[in-house]
Amino acid sequence: MSFFLVPALVTLRDEVNTRFSHRDKASDGWIGDPSHQARKSSHNPDWAHGGAVRAIDVDIDDKDPTADLRLMVVEAARHDKRVWYVISNGVIYSRTYGFAPRKYKGSNGHFKHVHVSVVENPAKWTDTTRWLSSEPVWKWNPEAVSDLALVQKQFQIAAGARKGARKRYHGVATIQNALNVSFLPKGQKLAVDGWAGRATVNAWRGFEAKKGGTGREITPDPVSLKHLRILDRFRGQEAQ
């Protein structure tokens, strides 16, 4: 007899993989290893119900420093009628206690992933209702303080001056908004989306030229950020 992950959790895994297509999966898992098999665990097959496994671990490294996969999964799970308990970052949320956060006393604090166990009710296992909210993953927070070196790297990648992964940052959005407010005409406003792309780099170059630069500058610097009155939204003032 073979074992299987219950359909409700397959749906959760598929949604996470779709929403965070570049995430790390090193800490993912669902079928119990020998350590789990030596004790009672939701990761072990329930042979009384055909080998159903009703627990999953979801790696929280979403490869996007502006998103929070951990928080998204925890919040979705602790408000879901199919869930028995959730563990992450040394905290457990259990239906038994109304999903109030409590310190998890087990040996594994689940710091690299979110553990989700569904209830011991086979009728809930086949419920494939959507788990995650359809709301956007990312929304600019104008109060967020960003690492300047990482933002500089994104501008350099966008300009083709260095290689690396394209990521979204609140700091890029802060610069986009400042350029819209202080420099760009109405018909050339940037999307405040946190992505450093060609339009954002060109707008930055235009801004630098206007204030006396060569127009070839591609990396935001503390002097220019101070001129835009947004330097306080960054930490670390050395280019990476």
- Interstrand relation of 101-103 and 146-147 (parallel, antiparallel or unpaired): unpaired
Tokens representing 238? 């050395």
The CA distances from residue 21 to 25, 103, 211, in Å, are 10, 31, 40
The residue whose two tokens read 């995650």 is 132
Q: What is the pLDDT of residue 240?
A: 34
Nearest CA-CA partner of 7 in 15, 18, 213: 15
The rounded distance, in Å, linking the Cα atoms of 83 and 120 is: 9
53 touches 46 (CB < 8 A): yes
**Confidence tier at 239 by pLDDT (50, 70, 90):** very low
Tokens representing 88? 């992450």
Q: Read off the pLDDT of residues 209-234 as tens digits, 9 standing for 90 and up.
A: 988 777 677 899 999 999 999 999 99
Handedness of CA 207, 211, 213, 215 (dihedral sign): positive
Q: Does residue 238 surpass a pLDDT of 60?
A: no
Q: What is the pLDDT of residue 226?
A: 94
* Mean per-residue pLDDT over the chain, rounded: 89
**Confidence tier at 22 by pLDDT (50, 70, 90):** confident
- Type and span of the H or E element at 152: helix 148-158
The rounded distance, in Å, linking the Cα atoms of 10 and 60 is: 17
